[in-house]
């Protein structure tokens, strides 16, 4: 299992001026070339360029970055924390088959990929429900666009 310590990119380890300079390169829409010690160059592919640009931008905003592979295994408590739910609620989701898991001895483990997939489905379901509720409120004439709060 990976640890946060070994996968954490801490912006405080890079001088701010140096980060700002790198951020300027990645802020341009053009690609950046990598050059090795023998002078050979290669252009960074678009998808990787965009990912690096986002990492550099966030670090220049003094935000630390933690990298996790999709197959990283989470404990039930860590997974519950990630989703912002109680451990018992999360275990109930596992037992209902809403999120796949595997057993390591007697302990359940969930992959990061499966957590992201569940989170995406959950958020989509919430959006649909909120849109339906909004439509119902509007069609019932209960939404007032000129409402200005308590006056």
Confidence band for 144, pLDDT divided at 50, 70 and 90: low
Domains defined for the chain, CATH in brackets: 4-66 (no CATH), 73-139 (1.10.1660)
Span 94-102, average pLDDT = 97
Interval 49-74 mean pLDDT: 90
More confident call, 20 vs 93: 93
Mean pLDDT over 4-25 rounds to 83
Outline where the chain has alpha helix (H): 4-7, 16-27, 46-60, 76-83, 87-95, 112-139
User: What is the DSSP code (8-state) at residue 85?
Assistant: S
The phi, psi pair for 78, rounded to 5°, reads -65, -40
Per-residue model confidence as pLDDT tens digits over 20-60? 888 888 888 777 788 999 999 998 888 888 898 899 989 98
Q: What are phi and psi of 111, to 5 degrees?
A: -80, 155
Task: Give the number of other Cβ atoms within 10 Å of residue 70's Cβ.
Answer: 11
Q: Which two tokens stand for residue 127?
A: 């959006």
| Global confidence as pTM | 0.66
């Amino acid at each position: 299992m990976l640890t946060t310590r070994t996968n954490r990119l801490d912006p405080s380890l890079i001088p701010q001026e140096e980060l700002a300079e790198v951020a300027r390169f990645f802020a341009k829409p053009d690609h950046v070339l990598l050059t090795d010690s023998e002078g050979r160059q290669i252009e960074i592919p678009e998808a990787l360029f965009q990912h690096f640009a986002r990492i550099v931008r966030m670090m220049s905003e003094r935000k630390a970055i933690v990298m996790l592979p999709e197959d990283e295994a989470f404990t039930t408590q860590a997974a519950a924390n990630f989703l912002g739910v109680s451990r018992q609620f999360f275990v109930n989701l596992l037992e209902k088959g809403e999120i796949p898991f595997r057993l390591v001895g007697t302990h359940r483990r969930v992959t990061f990929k499966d957590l992201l997939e569940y989170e995406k489905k959950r958020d989509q379901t919430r959006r649909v429900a909120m849109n339906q509720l909004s439509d119902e409120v509007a069609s019932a004439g209960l939404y007032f666009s000129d409402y200005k709060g308590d006056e």
